[in-house]
Amino acid sequence: MTDRKDLKKLVRARMAETGESYTTALRHVSSGGRFRAIVEKTIRLAAAWREEEHRLYPPDRGIISGGELARRMRERLSGAVPRPAFHAYMEHLEGLDRGDIVALVTLHYVGRNGDPAADTVEYAFTTQRAYVSREESRVTGLNKLIERTSMDRDLVSGLKLAAKIGLDIEELSRTT
């Protein structure tokens, strides 16, 4: 159920925007190409990682002490606590080429910071894409993709904003 929850959100967003039936909207959303498949897999794996983090380190504790932070970092680095979702997410990201990483960083940035106004979103896509393509190395892009546990939500928002302005996300990974 959780795997398809994000897809259903995208389908319902397209239905609201276009007035299409669920089946028609699903066909359009699902007919994405290679990069859409990468984004959808990244969303699924990032959501699993976020759930794993919340299970291991419940967020309801509030602000944590420096000692607690150090303990968590030691656990993460030592592998003392099994983290299969995190490792699956990292393995997926490490298998991506620079163009796909840059495109994911761009989509994440716009999803996290995008303004609902179409011209502002389009400008954000254009400027962030140019900046990341020019300035970011593959390693820096990977670091950006693992620094936030809300990656799945940010990517879904980025997809919605891209659809809103009619941007073909396949073009994001082709223009490195």
Q: What is the pLDDT of residue 1?
A: 47
Beta carbons within 8 Å of 107's beta carbon, 6+ residues apart? 39, 155, 158, 159, 162, 169, 172
Q: What is the pLDDT of residues 122-174, one digit of tens each?
A: 676 677 666 666 655 667 777 778 776 688 888 888 888 888 777 778 777 66
Going from N- to C-terminal start, the domains of the chain cover 1-31, 33-174
Q: What is the pLDDT of residues 10-34, one digit of tens each?
A: 788 878 877 878 887 776 676 667 8
Residue 89 and residue 154: Cα distance in Å, rounded? 16
The pTM of this model reads: 0.68
| Mean pLDDT of the region 110-123 | 66
Who wins on pLDDT, 115 or 104? 104
